[in-house]
Structure 1
Amino acid sequence: MVRRSHLKTILLFVLAIFGLVWLFSGSKLSGPRPITGKPTVVVVTVFDDKYDNTAYSQHIKDNRIQYAEKHGYGTFIAKAGDYDLAGAPASWSKVVAMRHAITKFPNCKYIWYLDQHALIMSPNSRVEEHVMGTQQLEEMMLKDHSIVPPESIIKTFSHLKAHDVNFVITQDRDGLATTSLVLRNGEWAKFFLDTWFDPMYRSYNFQKAETHALEHIVQWHPTILSKLAIVPQRAINAYSTVDHGAQYKDGDIAVVFSQCSGTDAKSCANEAERYSQRWRAAFGANH
C-alpha cells in the first residue's frame, strides 16, 4: 500500500513537471518570431488611382526599383484603390499599405514609406545607416521637442535612446509630415499601424486626415510617443520648395514635391522632371 501511494505521487509529480515544460515551451513557440532582416528595408509607395499606368508613375517606380536593387531592398508599390477605406480619404491608404508590406515581407527590418510625389536622390544612402544607425540617430533625434510646432506642451522624450526608437518621422511648419517615415518592423509596428488605422480615427473628420490623426495619437498615447523620434526634415523628407518646410539640397536622401498639383506648370510630373536627370545620373554613376 505504501509503495503504491509513493509510486502514484511520483507519477503525478513527473506528469506535473512534463506539463510545466510543455506549457513554457509552448509559450515560447507562440511568442514573436525572430526577424531575419531579409530584406533589410522595404520601400513602400502608394499611388492614387489617377496616376496608375502613367509615365509619371513609371518614373517614380523606376526610381524606387533602382534604389532597392542597389542595396538588396524590397519594394512594395500599391494603389489606393486596392484598399477598402470605408469612405475615408485616399491618403489613409499609406497606413494599410505599410501593414500590408509587413505581411508580405515579414522578415524585413525596416519599412520606409515614401510618398508618390517624391524621388530618392542619394543612391548610396542606406536606411539602416543614414536613418536608423545608432550613432546617426542619436545625433539627429530632437529630444524634449514639441510634437506640434511651435509650442505643443506634449514633447518627445528627453531620455529616449536610439535603440528604443521604432518610428522615425519629421515635421514641417504645419506639424508632423507623413510623406516620408521609417518604421522598425516587429510587434510594436503592427500594434502602431493597427491603432493608427482604427475606424474611429478614419471616420473622424480631421482636416488633414491621417496626418492629424497621427498627431492626436502621438500626443495622447505614451506607448506610441515613447518609441517615436523626430529628426530634422532634410534627413528623410526635404521639400522641393521652401513654402512650408526645409528645402532640398544636394546630398539629401530624398526630395518631396510638397506643393505640386495635377496640372499646369506646377504639376507633379513637371516637378519630377526637374530632378529626373540628377537622380538618374547619380544612380548611373554608382552602377
Structure 2
Amino acid sequence: MDSLHMIIRKPIVITLVVIGTWIILFYHYHDIPMQYYREYTSDVPLVVVNTQNGEPQTGFFKFQPEWDFKVPTIAKGWDGYARVPRNRDVVVLTASDGGGHNSAIKDILERVIDDRKHYCEKHGYTHLWLNTSRYDVGDAHRTWSKIPAVAEAFYLHPAAEWVWLIDTDIILMNPEYDLVEQILCPDAIRRNVMRDTPILDGQLKDKPTHIRTPKDPRIENMDILITQDHASVNTGSVFFRRSAFTRWILEMMTDYTMLMGLEHSGAEQDALKHLMLEHQLVRDHVAIFPQRKFNAFVQGGDKMGWRDGDLLVHLAGCWVNKHCGEWFEQFWSRRGQLWKPEKDPPQGA
C-alpha cells in the first residue's frame, strides 16, 4: 500500500515543482533586461559561407538572393541603434578582381588580401574577399560592383554588424589599430563625427555647396562612416552598418535610371555624394570622419596626408602620373613601423 502511495505521489510532486518553477520565472521575468533579448544574436551562421568567387552570378545583381540581406528587428526603422560590436561581427571586405588602374602593381591583390587576413586574425575580425567580376552590373562602370559586394558580405555573414569596404590600393600601416575602440563603438563615433561641416563637391567651383552635416547628429543613426578629401566624400574606405537605412541607400545608389546607368566620373562615389547633397535623411545617417582616421592619402597636409600611427595609407590617384608601383613598394616595406618619408612623394610625372 505504501508503495502505491509513493507511485501516486511522485508525479504529483514533479508536477508541483514544474508549476512552481514556471510561476517563479513569470513573476521575475521583468528582472531580465529587454535589451538582452534585443541584442542577442546566434553564434551559428544562418547560411554557409561560400563566396563562389570563381563563378559569375546568373543575372543582374539585384535579382540575386545575396542582394536581399536581412536586418535585425532593432534596425528595421529609421531610428537606429548604437552598441559596441563584437570584433568577429566586423567584416573587412576587399571587393576586387585585381584589375583596373592598380593592376600594374605586381601581385597587389594577393599581397593585400594576405596582409588583411593577418590583421583580421590578430584582432578577431572577419576577413572577406569577393571577386567583383562575378557581378552583372549591366553597362555601368565596373567600380559599381563594390555595392553588390557589400550586400553579399552582409548576406554571407548574417551576424555581422559592420562591413568595412576598402579598396585594393590601400595598405594597412598600423597592425595594432583597434577598429572598434577607435572608430565603431558609440563613443568613438561621438568623438569623431564632424558636426556642421560643409559637404564638398569637386565638380563645382564653390566646393563647399553651403550644405552641411548635422549640428547635433543622433549617434544611433550613424549607419555609414566615411571621410571627405579636398574634393568630396571618398568611398575608398567606408564602413556600412547593417540596418534598414543601409539596405535602402544601397538600393538608391544603384538606381539604374537615375544614377547607376548615367555617366558619373566618380561612379558609386558620386551617387552617394548626390544623395547626401539632396536629402537631409541621408545626411542624418552618414557620418563624415576626419580623413586621416581611416583614409589617409600618400600626399597632403596634416589633415589629409599619412602620418606615423595612422591606420592606413590610400594610394588614391597614383595612376595619374604612374606612381602606383613606386608608392606601393615604399609604403609596403614600412608597414608596422614608425616612419616618415625622407621627402614627400613626387608630385609630378
Query: 2:92 matched to 1:40?
Result: no
Query: 2:262 matched to 1:210?
Result: no
Query: 2:184 matched to 1:132?
Result: yes
CA distance in 1, matches of 2:104, 2:229: 28
CA distance in 2, matches of 1:271, 1:107: 37
RMSD value over aligned CA atoms? 2.7
CA distance in 2, matches of 1:216, 1:155: 13
Deviation at 1:59, TM superposition (A): 1.1
Determine if contact 1:180/1:237 at 8 Å carries over to the other structure: yes
Q: Which one of the candidate residues 80, 88, 93 is aligned to 2:145?
A: 93
Note closer, same or farther for the CA distance 1:232–1:31 as it changes in structure 2 (3 Å cut). Answer: closer
In structure 1, runs of 5+ residues without a counterpart are 1-27, 283-287
Determine if contact 1:114/1:180 at 8 Å carries over to the other structure: yes
CA distance in 2, matches of 1:83, 1:124: 34
Q: How many aligned residue pairs are there? A: 251
Query: 2:229 matched to 1:172?
Result: yes
Question: What corresponds to 2:252 in structure 1?
Answer: 195
In structure 2, runs of 5+ residues without a counterpart are 1-37, 39-69, 76-84, 202-206, 339-349
After TM superposition, the score normalised by the length of structure 2 is 0.66
Determine if contact 1:46/1:97 at 8 Å carries over to the other structure: yes
Determine if contact 2:89/2:162 at 8 Å carries over to the other structure: yes
Name whichever of 92-101 and 34-43 sits farther off: 34-43
Deviation at 1:281, TM superposition (A): 6.0
CA distance in 1, matches of 2:176, 2:87: 19
CA distance in 2, matches of 1:233, 1:39: 25
Instruction: Choose between structure 1 and 2: higher helix proportion.
Output: 1
CA distance in 2, matches of 1:123, 1:144: 32
After TM superposition, the score normalised by the length of structure 1 is 0.79
Question: What corresponds to 1:24 in structure 2?
Answer: none
Question: What corresponds to 1:224 in structure 2?
Answer: 282
Q: Which one of the candidate residues 237, 248, 255 is aligned to 2:295?
A: 237
What do residues 29-54 of structure 1 show as CA deviations (whole Å, max 9, x unaligned)?
x9835798572210111224534996
Question: What corresponds to 1:56 in structure 2?
Answer: 108
What do residues 127-184 of structure 1 show as CA deviations (whole Å, max 9, x unaligned)?
2211122222222211111122542222111110333311111111111111111111
Determine if contact 2:98/2:109 at 8 Å carries over to the other structure: no
Give the SS at the match of 2:240: strand
Note closer, same or farther for the CA distance 1:46–1:52 as it changes in structure 2 (3 Å cut). Answer: farther
